[in-house]
Amino acid sequence: MDGTRTENAIEPHFKLSPPPDTGPAALIDAPPIPGLFFTPSLRLPADLADSVMNYCLKTFFTSANINQIMLFCRAPSAESSTAPSGLPPLLISLLDVLSDILRPTLPPDIHSLLFPTVPTRARQAIINRYDPGEGITPHVDLLKRFGDGIVGVSFGSGCVMQFASSSEDQTYGVYLPEGSIIVMSGDARYKWSHGIEKKTMDYVQTPDTSSADGGRWVKRTMRMSITFRWLLPGAEVVGSA
């Protein structure tokens, strides 16, 4: 299978009215959060997305009780200008494709932050596997461990990611389709929390629905995410030397 995933594709949905406590339908476009970059039409090529997901499932998630893997790539040494290959080749290819896909849409400084020609810091790739009904507690990525510039990719299924300002006076739900890419920098990284509610389906804004609030239910299936983050100096060192 090849090509790019359909721009407006949304997983199986149902024309059901939401319960009273559901809240508004999740957005399908980027909310007005400074430093958050999300274009739903930008997707990974389908063949690459399938290859990455199949590789990760067969290589890392070999037991039902494994749902998270962390991989690390050290920064090049002072004697070398070549970045070390601490990540599997397929994830290096994924980073290269992400760089190409995002280059036309990101400000140059943000693109350089995420995809420098020669990295000067260690990089982490965290891979999470979610079954329907699972989620992640709202959080801001550890301030003393991770630097600015986070890029995440969704595989296998879409889901709604919830964003809340530090004062919690502003909240947004954003639907992240399968194959979509999201970037957090600046305020979006430091001043807004992000999380995923424990649900089996999401109420999502769609343009072709007759619902009063423009929403439609979208089922979740098994989902995998890969998030790339920069480690702050010394954060890659575990234990005593």
Residue 8 has pLDDT above 90, yes or no: no
pLDDT over 70 (residue 10): no
Q: Which of 14-23, 41-50, 81-90 has the lowest mean pLDDT?
A: 14-23
Site of tokens 């599997």? 88
Q: Write down the pLDDT at residue 209.
A: 56
Residue 45 has pLDDT above 60, yes or no: yes
Radius of gyration of the chain (CA): 18
pLDDT at 16 over 90: no
d(CA 192, CA 33): 8
What is the average per-residue pLDDT within 122-129? Answer: 96
pLDDT value for 212 = 57
Instruction: Look up the CATH number of domain 21-231.
Output: 2.60.120.1520
- Mean pLDDT over 100-129 rounds to 95
pTM of the complete model: 0.86
pLDDT of 184 strictly over 90: yes
The β-bridge relationship of strands 136-139 and 146-155 is: unpaired
Structural domain spans, the chain: 21-231
3-state SS, residue 51: helix
Is residue 214 over pLDDT 90? no
Range 6-28 average pLDDT:
59
Work out the average pLDDT over 125-141. 96
pLDDT digit string, tens, across residues 64-79: 899 999 999 887 665 5
Percent of the chain with pLDDT over 70: 81
DSSP state of 26: B
Average pLDDT over residues 59-67: 94
